[in-house]
Structure 1
Amino acid sequence: MIYKATFRLFLANLLLYFLSIKAEIPAVIVFGDSSVDTGNNNELSTILKSNFQPYGRDFFGGRPTGRFSNGRLPSDFISEAFGLKPTVPPYLNPNYNITDFATGVCFASAGTGYDNATSDTLSVLPLWKEIEYYKQYQQQLRDYLGDEKANEIIQEAIYLLSMGTNDFLENYYVRPRRQLEFSVEEYQYFLIGIARDFVTDLYKLGARKLSLGGLPPMGCLPLERTTNIMFQRQCIEEYNQVAQEFNMKLEILVGQLNEELKELQLVLSNPYNILLEMIQKPFSFGFDHADVACCATGYVEMGYMCDQLNPFTCTDADKYIFWDAFHPTERTNNLVATHLMQKWGTKFL
């Protein structure tokens, strides 16, 4: 518990820092996959959901919300750090409306990716649909606040984009179609092209302050390590190498778009190094477990395989880097968000 208190204090100090320099960020607007989905999949006909216990057991009120974690996600912590709400509401949840969304909204859908074929795998929102919902949101915002105020929010808001892992782990490496069409490097460039179009589309719709999320060391996810039994469940270095290469291509894209699009402030939020450091040196961060997750056995569980009927879920998630076999714990999300904010937070002020 001492680590939870310490990092809550650190986040509070970070919040005070941003407020002290008069940060004027009116909203946080989120696109992506399960790393930032705050509950949109609850409203979809998909098996990829987490709106049941033990998910959310360390969230406010101990309730599951559809977040793939025991608590909050990085986007929630970033919203709070900018002096906004401590949680970002999901756009598809009928319990929220434009009054809630005016200061932050999430269009992300767990299981999606840049590639439409990725979202088709589990019947979740494709990236183009997230954009369509964002267009609806813009109109609702204008109806609610008027054009001038709405346009100000649209231009001054911070846009968080986090996706890509599913394109490789749930699509390219498990579905033969894409491997027949592309080499790994060709597929990376295919996704980069979609990322370029996505950022450009948001720019044309008024967005100016964007954070493009990089890939984590995806070969070190417990689910992937489980498949590496012959090598004592070590990280799959091929997957980590692909993640690093993709992040380098994203970094080049960020530089290109900042040059091409006037007034664009685009940054790369790369979680790779901080997460790998946690995994390689867990005790330095106050973790006891890096290769196995908290939920049940922690080797293969995700979604409905991580449920309240399983008696093996750990009692203290703060000791684990991963909550289920694919997703980090709230404490890990807090650390990653804090690290990323230190890297680029002031660039938007």
Structure 2
Amino acid sequence: MAVLTYTPWLLAITEFLILASITKSEVPAIIVFGDSSVDAGNNNVIATLLKSNFRPYGRDFAGGRPTGRFCNGRIPPDFISEAFGLKPTVPAYLDPAYNIADFATGVCFASAGTGYDNATSAVLNVIPMWKELEYYKDYQNKLRAHLGNKKANEVLREALYLVSLGTNDFLENYYTFPTRRAQFTVQQYEDFLITLSGNFLGELYGLGARKISLTGVPPMGCLPLERTTNIMGHHGCMEKYNNVALEFNGKLKTMASRLNKELHGLRLEIADAYNIFNQIIRRPSLYGFEVVEKACCGTGTFEMSYLCSDQSPFTCKDADKYVFWDSFHPTEKTNHIISNHLIPHLLEKFR
């Protein structure tokens, strides 16, 4: 039986059908919280080593410009914003190149390296989730001054909120440092994170959010960095980590169901990126990829942030052949495929 590969022309047709299905959008803005999976450049202006505002990051972004996105191009919120008829990119709140007029239709508060656990954000001195909420409160005040209370409150109520994090809590924190492992079994730590996630979403709801898409943890055991360190497993995926991701994502779904019942008017949906990402990793050729074990940047085994250098002779020429851009983050093409998989569900639930 012939298998349809996910070629560039199929990507284009899929995107056309998604865009053609849009009627008048009831989503006036895309508002983003989370980690490097959705950070548009907030880490550029804070005192952390975890940055990506230099080439080769951004080499396939409009104008070949490194923005602070951990990718060669666009990330999922950008594609989702465009699918809802808004701008093709969602700017970072701390980026001085933008102002409240730009943020009125989309804004990103995410910070690479953060997690639900404050201890995770402390590892690389990035923005904790409570601080992302503080920036959001500041944004609310500026938006009300810009649009007036009535219009601003409508935007805040009808906006689509994208929340994506959790991976760093496990890989950067729990499995790297002994503190949390001494306090919790991994299942107990999952429950601890679920409590923190529920608290964060409850606070967001209290600030006016009603339409929320929550992305769980990807197949984190298959990230190139994890394959590199899995010497005993012949550099295959760390299935232990993937099983934790699946278990944690299942608990997120249970929590989402509970919050939808408890919080009047809340529409909280789980964006299941795990399965499509896992399919891409397990059968990359079906989606037009040639390399999945290693990333495009450098040797593709461990490079990320400042180790991902434009001077490396090993960095690939064509990122579209690679599932991963650096040892931790997908390429723009992968982001595009994952986003196109999620967008029809988001349009159905939130437009």
On whether the aligned pair clears a TM of 0.5, the verdict is yes
Amino acid at match of 1:194: L
Letter in 2 for 1:270: D
- 1:279-294 aligned within 5 A: 279-294=281-296
Give the Å deviation of 1:199. 0.7
Aligned match of 1:115 = 117
Secondary structure of the residue that 1:30 maps to in structure 2? strand
Q: How far did residue 272 of structure 1 move?
A: 0.8
2:91 and 2:24 map into 1 onto residues whose CA distance is: 24
- Kindly indicate whether the alpha-carbon contact (under 8 Å) linking 2:36 and 2:112 is maintained by their aligned counterparts in 1: yes
The partner residue of 2:42 within 24, 33, 40 is: 40
1:176-195 equivalences under 5 Å are 176-195=178-197
2:53 pairs with one of 47, 51, 54: 51
Alpha-carbon offset, residue 229 of structure 1:
1.5
Equivalent residue for 2:3? none
Aligned residue for 1:16?
20
User: Matched residues in 1 for 2:37 and 2:12: separation?
Assistant: 20
Give 2:147's match in structure 1, choosing from 137, 145, 153: 145
- Describe the superposition over 1:13-58 as per-residue Cα deviations: whole angstroms up to 9, x where unpaired: 312212xx32221000000000000000000110000000100010
Q: 1:65 aligned to 64, 67, 83, which one?
A: 67
Whether contact under 8 Å (2:18, 2:83) holds in the other structure is yes
Counterpart in 2 of 1:7?
Answer: 11
Q: In the TM superposition, what is the alpha-carbon distance from 1:83 to its structure 2 partner?
A: 0.3
Alignment of 1:77-156 (within 5 A): 77-156=79-158
Q: CA deviation at 1:298?
A: 0.4
Distance 1:135 1:154 in 2: 11
Query: What is the match of residue 248 of structure 2?
Result: 246
SS at match of 1:66: coil
User: Helix, strand or coil for the counterpart of 1:331?
Assistant: helix
- Paired residues of 1:4 and 1:318 also in contact (CA < 8 A): no
Offset of 1:340 from its aligned partner?
1.1
Counterparts of 1:221 and 1:342, CA distance in 2 = 26
- TM-score norm. by structure 1 comes to 0.98
What is the rounded CA distance, in whole Å, between the counterparts of 1:272 and 1:295 in structure 2?
23
Distance 2:126 2:13 in 1: 36
Q: Which residue of 1 is the match for residue 198 of structure 2?
A: 196
Cα deviation 1:120-155 (Å, max 9, x = unaligned): 000000000000000000000000000000000000
Question: Is the contact made by 1:12 and 1:81 (CA closer than 8 Å) also made in structure 2?
Answer: no
Q: Please state whether the residue corresponding to 1:230 is helix, strand or coil.
A: coil
| 8 Å CA contact retained: 2:93, 2:108 | yes
Question: Percent identity of the aligned residues?
Answer: 60
Q: Which amino acid aligns with 2:53?
A: N
Out of 189, 203, 216, the residue aligned to residue 218 of structure 2 is 216
Cα distance, 1:343 vs. partner?
Answer: 2.8
Q: Which amino acid counterpart does residue 155 of structure 1 have in structure 2?
A: R
Give the 3-state SS of the residue equivalent to 1:231 in structure 2: coil
Kept in 2, the 8 Å contact 1:50–1:66? The answer is yes
Q: What is the number of equivalent residue pairs in this alignment?
A: 346
Aligned partners of 2:26 and 2:350 also within 8 Å? no
Give CA-to-partner distance per residue, 1:182-203, whole Å, 9 cap, x none: 1101100100001101111111
1:328-339 alignment, distance < 5 Å? 328-339=330-341
CA contact (8 A) 1:59 1:72 kept: yes
User: What's the offset of the Cα at 1:12?
Assistant: 3.0
Distance 1:130 1:117 in 2: 15
Instruction: Could you tell me which runs of 5 or more consecutive residues in structure 2 were left unpaired when the two chains were aligned.
Output: 1-5
Q: Secondary structure at the match of 2:269?
A: strand
The equivalent of 1:263 in structure 2 is 265
Aligned to 1:196, the other structure's residue is in SS state helix
What displacement does 1:112 show?
0.2
Tell me by how many angstroms 1:95 deviates: 1.2
Offset of residue 309 of structure 1: 1.2
Equivalent residue letter for 1:264: L
2:159 is aligned to 157
Per-residue deviation, 1:5? 4.6
CA RMSD for the aligned pairs?
A: 1.0
Match of 2:30 in 1: 28
Amino acid in structure 1 at the alignment position of 2:111: S
Q: CA deviation at 1:280?
A: 0.7
Which residue identity does 1:341 align to in structure 2? Answer: I
2:310 counterpart of 1:301: no
Distance 2:242 2:50 in 1: 24
Would the aligned equivalents of 1:90 and 1:107 in 2 still touch at CA under 8 Å?
Answer: yes
Query: Higher mean Cα deviation, 7-16 or 287-296?
Result: 7-16
Q: Deviations over 1:287-312 (max 9, x none)?
A: 00111111111000100110111111
SS of the residue aligned with 2:232? helix
1:184-232: CA deviations, max 9, x gaps?
Answer: 0110010000110111111111100000111100000000010111221
